[in-house]
């Protein structure tokens, strides 16, 4: 059964509908989810203008969202977290580049190559591919580079990325250390003399919503290591290695960033980029800025947002909540679509309507496999019920 809440606002039938839906993880990218909603709405109301804004928060789907905002794709080869070599796209417009770590050396790519995470893979996983794509963007003349760091597979403190950008990480015998967090325990010397000189004239931005520091009980290894395969022993090894890397790097550059919020993002890549001069920016804000979402949402008659699962975390600043607040500030009603809704009843009034796929397809596997068609059908039904006019 589809649910309807909060009757206070009424959509303007003469203004466009804006669809800005985050990905349904495991079934639909943001772009596919937005297009599914658009198809359903247009099937019921073909005369209504429907604008889609694919969105992301710096993780999977970031490049797709930026391409939809007018950037073009540049294809390069890079190594995945487990050492495989494949072609990936980053986004470029003029001198601005947007790079998605998830496509370069992320968890989903690693899982496709080697299966589910294991403790051994967790310790060996490298961020090298991200550095290779950054280097490629520098060669293309990019001077403003944003890196979305969500969905990473490694906990190497950005060591692999740094190596790909010319930093030498050496053991006691002055040989290169092994990849991954395990290799950091061999680290004895760090040589920055070969760092890519083009970085000195580049504006670097880390797009992420993670606020963890690099080290400690709330840090990269302890909080995020388990999802990348690290067991208790692996977490301890990674923590020791990250500490060693931070000691050497921060001594070399004369600045300490290990305690900064966001340094623990992407297994420490957030910290490594900060050491290279990067600034942090919330991923959702960066993506919505490129899409000029605020002006489009403010001029809408209805906004449809959502994600795969809507729960109380959704209303604590996640992308759909950011979009909801922009719309409500402009007096525009907001619908939400999702695969499953776990919001308590007293919180559901945050949206004027919640369209939930589990209400029309109880089997989660079927719902995920057929998410696109189910989403279109559910939205079409809602519009035909006459609630938009």
Same domain, 207 and 305: no
Task: Answer for the pair 70, 93: CB distance below 8 angstroms, yes or no.
Answer: yes
Neighbours of 200 (CB within 10 A): 9
Domain that holds residue 371: 3-55+292-384
pLDDT band for 6, please (50, 70, 90 cuts): very low
pLDDT digit string, tens, across residues 229-251:
999 999 999 999 999 999 999 99
Per the domain annotation, does 389 fall within a domain? no
The DSSP-derived string for 112-145 is HHH-S--HHHHHH---HHHHHHHHHHHHTT--EE
Same domain, 126 and 165: yes
Same domain, 82 and 201: yes
Total domain count, the chain? 2
Domain boundary among 284, 307, 322: 284
- What strands lie across the sheet with 85-93, from one edge to the other? 72-79, 85-93, 96-100, 144-148, 203-207, 279-281
Dihedrals phi, psi of 77, to nearest 5 degrees: -100, 140
Instruction: Tell me 236's DSSP state.
Output: H
Same domain, 149 and 257: yes
Q: What is the CATH number of the domain that holds 356?
A: 3.40.50.10350
Q: What is the CATH number of the domain that holds 175?
A: 3.90.1510.10
Same domain, 315 and 192: no
Same domain, 50 and 80: no
Same domain, 18 and 132: no
Q: At what angle do helices 319-329 and 283-290 cross, to 10 degrees?
A: 60
Same domain, 88 and 207: yes
Q: How many residues does the chain have?
A: 389
Same domain, 299 and 328: yes
Same domain, 278 and 330: no
Domain boundary among 227, 256, 284: 284
pLDDT greater than 80 at residue 354 = yes
pLDDT digit string, tens, across residues 262-315:
999 999 999 999 999 999 988 777 778 877 888 999 999 999 999 999 988 788
Instruction: Return the pLDDT at 389.
Output: 45
pLDDT band for 363, please (50, 70, 90 cuts): confident
Instruction: Return the pLDDT at 216.
Output: 97
Per the domain annotation, does 9 fall within a domain? yes
Same domain, 223 and 261: yes
Instruction: Return the pLDDT at 290.
Output: 78
More confident residue, 166 or 366: 166
Query: pTM of the full predicted structure?
Result: 0.84
Task: Answer for the pair 179, 128: CB distance below 8 angstroms, yes or no.
Answer: yes
Per the domain annotation, does 209 fall within a domain? yes
The CA distance from 233 to 145, in Å, is 36
Lowest mean pLDDT among 7-21, 89-103, 195-209: 7-21
Same domain, 296 and 266: no
| Average predicted confidence (pLDDT) for the chain | 91
pLDDT band for 4, please (50, 70, 90 cuts): very low
pLDDT greater than 80 at residue 192 = yes
**352-364 mean pLDDT:** 89
Domain boundary among 284, 303, 331: 284
The CA distance from 18 to 287, in Å, is 16
Buried b (16+ CB within 10 A) or exposed e, 275-300: bbebebbbbbebbbebbebeebbeeb
More confident residue, 23 or 389: 23
Instruction: Return the pLDDT at 284.
Output: 76
**208-226 mean pLDDT:** 93
């Amino acid at each position: 059964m589809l649910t309807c809440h909060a009757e206070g606002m009424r959509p303007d039938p003469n203004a466009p509908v804006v669809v800005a839906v985050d990905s349904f993880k495991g079934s639909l990218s943001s772009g596919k989810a937005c297009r599914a909603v658009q198809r359903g709405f247009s099937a019921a109301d073909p005369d209504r203008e429907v604008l889609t804004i694919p969105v992301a928060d710096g993780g999977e789907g970031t490049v797709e969202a930026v391409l939809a905002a007018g950037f073009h794709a540049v294809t390069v080869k890079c190594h995945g977290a487990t050492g495989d070599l494949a072609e990936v796209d980053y986004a470029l417009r003029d001198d601005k580049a947007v790079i998605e770590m998830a496509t370069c050396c992320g968890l989903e790519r690693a899982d496709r190559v080697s299966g589910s995470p294991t403790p051994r893979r967790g310790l060996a996983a490298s961020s090298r591919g991200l550095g290779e794509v950054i280097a490629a963007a520098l060669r293309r003349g990019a001077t403003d580079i944003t890196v979305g760091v969500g969905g990473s597979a490694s906990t190497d403190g950005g060591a692999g990325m740094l190596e790909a950008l010319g930093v030498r990480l050496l053991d006691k015998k002055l040989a290169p250390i092994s990849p991954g967090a395990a290799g950091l325990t061999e680290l004895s010397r760090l040589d920055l003399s070969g760092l890519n000189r083009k970085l000195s004239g580049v504006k670097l931005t880390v797009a992420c919503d993670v606020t963890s520091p690099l080290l400690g009980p709330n840090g990269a290894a302890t909080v995020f290591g388990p999802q990348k395969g690290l067991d208790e022993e692996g977490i301890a090894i990674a923590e020791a290695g990250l500490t060693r890397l931070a000691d050497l790097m921060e001594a070399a550059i004369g600045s300490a960033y290990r305690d900064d919020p966001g340094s623990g993002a992407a297994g420490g890549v957030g910290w490594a980029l900060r050491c290279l001069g990067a600034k942090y920016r919330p991923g959702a804000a960066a993506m919505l800025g490129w899409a000029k979402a605020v002006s489009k949402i403010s001029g809408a008659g209805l906004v449809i947002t959502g994600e795969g699962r809507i729960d109380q975390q959704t209303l604590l600043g996640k992308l759909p909540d950011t979009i909801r607040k922009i719309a409500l500030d402009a007096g525009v009603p907001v619908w939400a679509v999702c695969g499953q809704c776990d919001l308590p009843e007293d919180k559901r009034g945050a949206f004027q309507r919640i369209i939930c796929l589990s209400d029309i397809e109880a089997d989660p596997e079927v719902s995920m496999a057929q998410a696109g068609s189910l989403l279109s059908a559910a939205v079409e039904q809602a519009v035909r019920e006459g609630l938009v006019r």
